[in-house]
Amino acid sequence: QVQLVQSGAEVKNPGSSVKVSCKTSGDMFNNYAMAWVRQAPGQVLELMGRLVPIVGVPNYAQKFQYRVTITADKSTSTAYMELSGLQFEDTAVYYCGRVARSGGIDSWGQGTLVTVSS
């Protein structure tokens, strides 16, 4: 069973940044791409970006490309997603997931709630 374990909930002020972690196994890290998807209340799921950890080059959805940074630490098999310039509308659950070779995301982290509040 593939496990992706995310960091805990965060409360942030507008204009600040948040960094969410996603720890998995070395095997998964070396053999699969990882994606970050967010789910705002009442909104459609949104892809933020993807990363192949062993390659280390991310690609970002255009909507987030100037605010999101996705990185990976191979020594700890942990991926990170940092979102800057937080606004109230960034309040959402943020998920990491393993990109299946056959398509879609076949394993998901438990989700991290980020609340932007003044």
Partner 1 sequence: DIQMTQSPSSLSASIGDRVTITCRASLDISNSLAWYQQSPGKAPKLLLYGASRLASGVPSRFSGAGSGTDYTLTISSLQPEDFATYFCQQYFTSLWTFGQGTNVEIK
Q: What share of the chain is helix, strand, coil (3-state, %, to 5)?
A: 10, 45, 45
Q: Contact between 5 and partner 1 (CB under 8 A)?
A: no
3-state secondary structure of 17: coil
Q: Contact between 32 and partner 1 (CB under 8 A)?
A: no
Q: Contact between 108 and partner 1 (CB under 8 A)?
A: yes
Question: Strands 18-23 and 10-12: what pairing?
Answer: unpaired
Cβ proximity to partner 1: between 29 and 95 the closer is: 95
Q: Contact between 58 and partner 1 (CB under 8 A)?
A: no
Do 54 and 74 form a contact (C-beta atoms < 8 A)?
A: yes
Q: Contact between 111 and partner 1 (CB under 8 A)?
A: yes
Numbers of helices and strands, H then E, in the chain:
1, 11
Q: Contact between 29 and partner 1 (CB under 8 A)?
A: no
Q: Contact between 106 and partner 1 (CB under 8 A)?
A: yes
Binding residues vs partner 1 (CB under 8 A): 35, 44-47, 59, 61-62, 95, 97, 100, 102-106, 108-111
